[in-house]
Every structure is written in C-alpha cells, then in structure tokens.
Copies of this chain bind each other. A is one copy, B any other.
Amino acid sequence: MSAKNEVTADENQEEKFKKDLALIEAALYVAGRPLDTKTLGYIIGSRSKKRVQQLARALIEKYRQLETPLEVLELEDERFVLQLKTEFSARVRKLAVRPLLSDGPLRTLAYIAYRQPIVQKQVVDARGAHAYGHIRQLAEMGLIERKSDGRNKILRVTEFFSDYFGLSRDIKVMKRQLKKTFNELMKKPLSSDEEYDFNES
C-alpha cells in the first residue's frame, strides 16, 4: 500500500469518526432522554459497544471543552444523555414546551424517590393532603407506580423516572445519588423566576 493510500485511509477513518460523532450527537439531541449503547450503535450502524462508547465519550469531551450550557453525560448503566446544565434551568425553564411539574409535585416526587418503597399514607402524612393530587399526577406521567398491598398502596419510582433524571435504576445507588443531589441543592438554592433582572444592561 502506498503512502498516499495510507493517508487516504486515515482520512477516511477520521471522516467516518466525525460523521458518526455527529450522528450520536444528533441522536441524543432528538431523543431528549438517555440512550443506551445498543440504540446508539443502531443509529451509526455498528454492533460494537466499544466503538459507541469511544464515540460517546469523545462527545462528552467535546462538550466539556466547548463553552456551552449543554452537557453530555455518561450514566451508571452505560447510557448517555444530552441535556442542559442544571445551573441554566431556572433561567430558561419557562420556555420549555412540555408543561413541567411545579414545585409541590416535585417535592412529593423527591420524597417518594428518597423513601421508596413507601406507603401512600406515609407520603400524605409527610407532605399533606394535597399530596394525593401530586401522586395521581406523578403516576399519570409515569414517574411513579402504585401497587396495592392489602389496604395500602406502595409507591416507588419507575425506570422512566431514573432515565428522566439520569439516575441509576438500582434503588440503593439511586438513593445515594439523590442524597448527593439534595445536599447540593440545599447548599445552593435554585434562583427563582423572580430573580431576573430586567433593568440590567
């Protein structure tokens, strides 16, 4: 093989890498949820998990180096997700199309996730009677599931919840992750919408 051909082969490989990287990025952008290596492999037409991981990790690095409010994360179960960095959420969440959960249901959800599996009555005791409405809403959105156990209803979060929040599907691991998140959240309270300074500049 001539030197020229080798260069071309390298170039081709580089081209292919770039193209695949772009496809992975496009896939993560369109999905708006964590994707596993199989799905990503399907998009780039490769069955090699290693190849997908290599590409996705290169994407993580690319985003890390760019000054961008977006980030690509690798989750514990080898899934990847593209999302907005949390510190930007408060400023732009109003623009999100999907009606997002308000504070109350989010608190109830956090409580259930942290205490799961938990009896519905206990949630209501801790969060007040309006928690019934939250529980219904959360179940409708597929974030929690209710199972009857005699007269009680046992609540726990779903795999969709784990995916949505980029948390582990393993309850124990998830609880550890949650604890960490809560600690961070309590240190640095979210700025609310009211904080916008419209007189600035």
Chain B residues within an 8 Å CB radius of A44: 201
Query: Bound state CA distance, A23 and B99, in angstroms?
Result: 21
Contact between A198 and B67, CB atoms less than 8 A apart: no
Which of B21, B45, B93, B140 has a CB less than 8 Å from the CB of A30?
B93
A98 within 8 A of B: yes
Asked if A121 is at the interface of the complex by the 8 Å CB criterion, the answer is no
Residues from 114 to 166 in A contacting B, C-beta threshold 8 Å: 137, 140-142, 160
Q: Are A201 and B45 in contact (CB under 8 A)?
A: yes
Q: Is A97 an interface residue (CB 8 A)?
A: yes
Q: Mark A30-55, 1 if CB is under 8 A from B, else 0.
A: 11110100010011111110010000
> Closest approach, in angstroms, between the C-beta of A61 and any C-beta of chain B?
14
Count copies of this chain in the complex: 2
Complex-state Cα separation, A70 to B22, whole angstroms: 9
Chain B CB within 8 A of A197 CB: yes
CB-CB under 8 A from A57, the residues of chain B are: none
Bound-complex Cα distance A51 to B200 (A): 12
B33 near A84: Cβ-Cβ < 8 Å: no
Report if A171 contacts B (CB, 8 A): no
CA distance A201 to B92 in the complex (A): 38
Q: Is A169 interfacial (CB-CB < 8 Å)?
A: no
What's the nearest-Cβ distance from chain B to residue A181, in Å?
20
A-B residue pairs, 8 tightest by C-beta: A26-B69, A31-B95, A26-B88, A45-B200, A22-B69, A46-B201, A99-B140, A30-B92
The chain A residues found within 8 Å of chain B, CB to CB, are 18, 21-23, 25-27, 29-33, 35, 39, 42-48, 51, 66-70, 84, 88, 91-93, 95-100, 137, 140-142, 160, 196-201
Given A23-B88, A29-B92, A42-B198, 11 more A-B residue pairs with CB atoms under 8 Å apart are A26-B91, A29-B69, A29-B70, A39-B95, A43-B95, A44-B201, A45-B196, A97-B100, A98-B141, A99-B140, A99-B141
